[in-house]
Amino acid sequence: MTLAQALSAYFALNAAVAIGFIGLVLVEVFARRLPARQRLALNYGACAALVVSVCVSALLPDVAFFEPAVRVWTDLAQDGGVDVTRAWITLGAGTTFDAGSAGRVWIATALVLLAFGSALLLRDFFRLRAIRRHSYCVRRIGCVRVWISDVIATPFSYWRPGRAHVVLPAWLVERPEQFRMVLAHELQHHRQRDTVWLHAFRALRLMCVANPFAHLWARHVARIQEFACDEALTARPAFAAYDYARCLVAVALRGTDFKAPANAAGLIGFGDPKALIRRIEKMMQPQPARRTGNNRLLVACLAITMTAAAFAAGGWIEDQTQETAVAPAQAEASVWPVRGGEVTAEFGKHRGIDIAVDEGTAVVAFRAGVVETVDETKGCGKRVRIRHSDVVSIYCNLASVQVTVGEEVAMGAEVARIGSPWPGRRPHLHFEVQSVEKHVDPRTQLPRLAAPTGEMSRGAIALRQRLGFRLYKDPASGDKC
């Protein structure tokens, strides 16, 4: 994977996270009476669709719908007789810096975050292990083990591959009715797979540590998990809402100084003092009728939106890697061959680029060089080839030529004037650059800040090409210049 691909994937992931969270919040705003369990299922489905959307966006063809803000350039150089691939990053403002140093900073940051996340996991592991040492397994319900501990005040549940655990404080043994309610609550967390999804959202927060939407989404899901468990228990005839609310208050009074591990689902969260009040108010209200709306349709819509956002975010970064690419930091000084035009065709569909200008506009040498040929070809009109130190530039669709073969021209010197290629066709300069008998993108050889005014975005050009505009075909000969 190249540096540009890695940056595109990371930007795509963060964009998909932001769109996914905003979309879920909008769904909840416009569907206030949606049951908590359905809201929780929507969040889990959107999180699963997040991974799919990022992967799908990476497989889509590279079509930018706006001008990329960052370009990554690569060049193969010799360092002590060893081939070394060097990279540069060019920002939209024209600032260029060595991508090697940026890559090292990025790798170092990733390693620090990985070490930090591993340290947190080890801390939680040893904390749970210490609690288990002072606990007694009193029951097994399927693959779930129920533990009684003297060192905790608040019940919680957690999951490990192949095993699920529920840890209850010892004081609940003296209150059988509350013990039964608390145990049912923690078992509901396992039924909903809350303890498994906790690890997924924790990993998402670690990967998108600078993205506030990732942290807000994890906190939002943690709150919905508790509302969903409360909703499931109070819907059962065996648990009265009033008795269940008293149980929550009793646990909250006992465990004010205890905080459950980060990778465990606790009965009471003490970060928000109003959370318990909202839970009690919610369970005392009449339960809304369970809607039979298709959550899969909503998840599919979110997945499509996240894929589009990830694809668009990936377009912010353009990979300029080519066999003959020249890094901007090492490229020779150059100028655009015409002034005051718009780029109407990009490299790829063409062997060069087309710059639409008025008839009679001056064409200048983009670098200093020697005129190699002056001729006329079918489909391109009059043409001038200029050989430079490392490349050859080609200028087509000319009306008059002011240079001769063998003449030395300076950078910016006028070599010809633009003509009209054929009736009904807009006058334009077709500009090509060849290096070692291979055509390369002329943009890799041209300055970024000196682009012609009125330049069309690559997205607009791609859209015109997709809609079938035949911009390049000579109606007389059928050739493409």
Vertex 193 angle, CA 188 and 195, to 5°: 90
Q: Which residue has the tokens 């009736």?
A: 423
For the packed helices 212-234 and 194-207, what is the interaxial angle rounded to 10 degrees?
170
CA neighbours closer than 13 Å in the CB half-sphere of residue 56: 15
Please state, as a whole number, how many other Cβ atoms lie within 10 Å of the Cβ of residue 106: 15
- Whether residue 119 is contained in a domain is answered as no
Q: Give me 154's structure tokens.
A: 């608040």
Statement to judge: residues 387 and 294 lie in one domain = no
- Asked whether the predicted pLDDT for residue 466 surpasses 60, the reply is no
Give me the pLDDT at residue 147, please: 92
Single residue among 265, 290, 311 that ends a domain in this structure = 311
Share of the chain above pLDDT 90, in %: 20
Q: Show the beta-strand stretches assigned E in 246-288.
A: 265-266
- Whether residue 189 is contained in a domain is answered as yes
The residue range of the domain holding 414 is 342-466
- Whether residue 152 is contained in a domain is answered as no
Task: Specify the length of the chain in residues.
Answer: 481
Query: d(Cα 481, Cα 394) in Å, to the nearest integer?
Result: 11
- Whether residue 89 is contained in a domain is answered as yes
- DSSP 3-state of 102: helix
Statement to judge: residues 292 and 362 lie in one domain = no
Statement to judge: residues 96 and 219 lie in one domain = yes
The confidence band for 453, taking pLDDT boundaries of 50, 70 and 90, is: very low
Counted domains in the chain = 2
The confidence band for 296, taking pLDDT boundaries of 50, 70 and 90, is: confident
Burial class (CB in 10 A: 0-12, 13-18, 19+), 219: middle
The confidence band for 186, taking pLDDT boundaries of 50, 70 and 90, is: very high
- Whether residue 371 is contained in a domain is answered as yes
- Asked whether the predicted pLDDT for residue 216 surpasses 60, the reply is yes
Task: Give bridge partners of residue 70 from the DSSP assignment.
Answer: 91, 317
Q: Give me 114's structure tokens.
A: 């990985």
- Whether residue 383 is contained in a domain is answered as yes
Single residue among 296, 311, 326 that ends a domain in this structure = 311
DSSP-derived pairing of the beta strands 428-435 and 392-401: antiparallel
Task: Give bridge partners of residue 135 from the DSSP assignment.
Answer: 149
Of 457 and 225, which is predicted with more confidence? 225
Statement to judge: residues 261 and 408 lie in one domain = no
Q: Say which residues have a Cβ less than 8 Å from residue 465's Cβ, sequence separation at least 6.
A: 349, 471
Query: d(Cα 431, Cα 75) in Å, to the nearest integer?
Result: 23
CATH number of the domain enclosing 425: 2.70.70.10
Q: Say which residues have a Cβ less than 8 Å from residue 432's Cβ, sequence separation at least 6.
A: 351, 352, 393, 394, 396, 439, 442
Please state, as a whole number, how many other Cβ atoms lie within 10 Å of the Cβ of residue 421: 22
Query: d(Cα 97, Cα 329) in Å, to the nearest integer?
Result: 8
pTM above 0.75, yes or no: no
Query: d(Cα 53, Cα 155) in Å, to the nearest integer?
Result: 37
For 16-58, the pLDDT digits (tens) are: 899 989 999 998 888 777 888 889 999 999 999 888 888 887 7
Statement to judge: residues 296 and 358 lie in one domain = no
The dihedrals phi and psi of 474, each to the nearest 5 degrees, come to -80, 115
The confidence band for 476, taking pLDDT boundaries of 50, 70 and 90, is: very low
Query: d(Cα 129, Cα 395) in Å, to the nearest integer?
Result: 74
Statement to judge: residues 58 and 199 lie in one domain = yes
Statement to judge: residues 216 and 84 lie in one domain = yes
Statement to judge: residues 200 and 109 lie in one domain = yes
Query: d(Cα 251, Cα 395) in Å, to the nearest integer?
Result: 81
- Whether residue 258 is contained in a domain is answered as yes
Average pLDDT on 318-325 reads: 51
Mean pLDDT over each residue of the chain, to the nearest integer: 78
For 122-162, the pLDDT digits (tens) are: 888 888 888 888 899 988 988 899 999 988 888 889 888 88
For the packed helices 212-234 and 36-59, what is the interaxial angle rounded to 10 degrees?
140
CA neighbours closer than 13 Å in the CB half-sphere of residue 444: 27
For 370-407, the pLDDT digits (tens) are: 999 999 887 788 899 999 988 899 999 898 899 999 99
Single residue among 311, 327, 362 that ends a domain in this structure = 311
Buried-state track 152-180, b at ≥16 Cβ within 10 A, e below 16: bbbbbbbbeeeebbbbbbebbeeeeebbe
Statement to judge: residues 254 and 401 lie in one domain = no
Give me the pLDDT at residue 213, please: 93
Give me the pLDDT at residue 87, please: 58
Q: In 3D, which of 194, 192, 137 has the Cα closest to residue 166?
A: 137
The confidence band for 80, taking pLDDT boundaries of 50, 70 and 90, is: very low
